[in-house]
Amino acid sequence: MRIALGLEYDGSSFCGWQTQPGGCGVQDALERALVPIAGTSVKTVCAGRTDTAVHATGQVVHFDAPVQRPLQAWVRGVNAHLPDSVGVLWARETSPQFHARFDAVARRYRYVLLTRAVRPGLLRGKVGWWHGALDIDALRAGAAHLIGRHDFSSFRAAECQARSPVRELTHLDIDGDGTFVTFDLRANAFLQHMVRNIVGALVYVGAGRRPDAWMAELLAARNRTRSAPTFAPDGLYLTAVEYSPAAGLPASF
């Protein structure tokens, strides 16, 4: 039967989601932990491949289980064999046609940015960092130019393998408390480094280095070299993957 799992993980000690020859991917850790419960090796498919040092509170994967097990075995049993930095949150039996990646209708990411003169110590690896205050109103004005269906070529990594740079960004909400700024984004899908590149450009706007209209200019340019540097992965979290109600998966977690 096909099983879907919800995962959270600290990406700091992994080389991204995808399996690697050295076994340093989150996928490698999960597939090793599944073996004692499944009795054999299984392959997993995730909703979104996170990069090195990127975290998740709402990753979704599926795999085809070769044996019948109680759902709690795929949660507590697998967790017993995972490193402390990875945890299975829930398990659901799905239809054989369910696909964690292709059936997803939206993904949500959050970027957490520390804004102060000195770098983080206690939160190292968990937040991004900018060395000064940012104008929240300017950030929001810049973000408004990105909402909608656009060619996001100016915000994709050079090595991005997506067939099309067109994505629909439906939400980009920004909040700040004077110390932290959070960027919450929702789109049908994201290009490689898209969130980190958006944050990097918006920081230039919030710091007064560029006007908010610069974000629209970057979209029109469709040229990655015209934008700001890619921001660090440390503060980036995949927070949720959304599916149609028919999939029978938790709405959010």
Q: What are the pLDDT digits (tens) for 107-161?
A: 999 999 999 999 999 999 999 999 999 999 999 999 999 999 999 999 999 999 8
Average pLDDT over the chain, rounded to an integer: 96
The verdict on 117 and 218 lying in the same domain is yes
| pLDDT score at 250 | 86
Whether 244 maps to a domain, the answer reads no
Residue appearing with tokens 């974000």: 215
pLDDT at 176 over 60: yes
pLDDT at 235 over 80: yes
State the number of CA atoms in the 13 A half-sphere of 61 facing the CB. 29
SS3 223: coil
* Beta bridge partner(s), residue 87: 8
Nearest residue to 143 (alpha-carbon basis) of 188, 191, 182: 182
pLDDT at 99 over 90: yes
The verdict on 191 and 156 lying in the same domain is yes
Total structural domains in the chain? 2
Q: What percent of the chain has pLDDT over 70?
A: 99
The verdict on 60 and 181 lying in the same domain is no
Whether 251 maps to a domain, the answer reads no
For residue 148, what is the domain's CATH number?
3.30.70.660
The residue among 103, 118, 152 that closes a domain is 103
The verdict on 199 and 120 lying in the same domain is yes
Whether 248 maps to a domain, the answer reads no
pLDDT tens track for 185-219: 999 999 999 999 999 999 999 999 999 999 999 99
The residue among 78, 103, 128 that closes a domain is 103
CA dist list (Å): 162 to 26, 35, 159, 223: 21, 31, 9, 16
Over range 55-81, report the average pLDDT: 97
| pLDDT score at 199 | 98
Q: pLDDT band for position 252 (50/70/90)?
A: low
Structural domain span for residue 99: 2-103
Whether 209 maps to a domain, the answer reads yes
pLDDT tens track for 80-91: 999 999 999 999
Q: What percent of the chain has pLDDT over 90?
A: 95
Rounded-to-integer distance, Cα 65 and Cα 67, Å: 5
Over range 218-246, report the average pLDDT: 96
Where in the sequence numbering do the catalytic residues fall?
51
pLDDT at 224 over 50: yes
| pLDDT score at 253 | 47
The verdict on 95 and 136 lying in the same domain is no
The verdict on 32 and 114 lying in the same domain is no
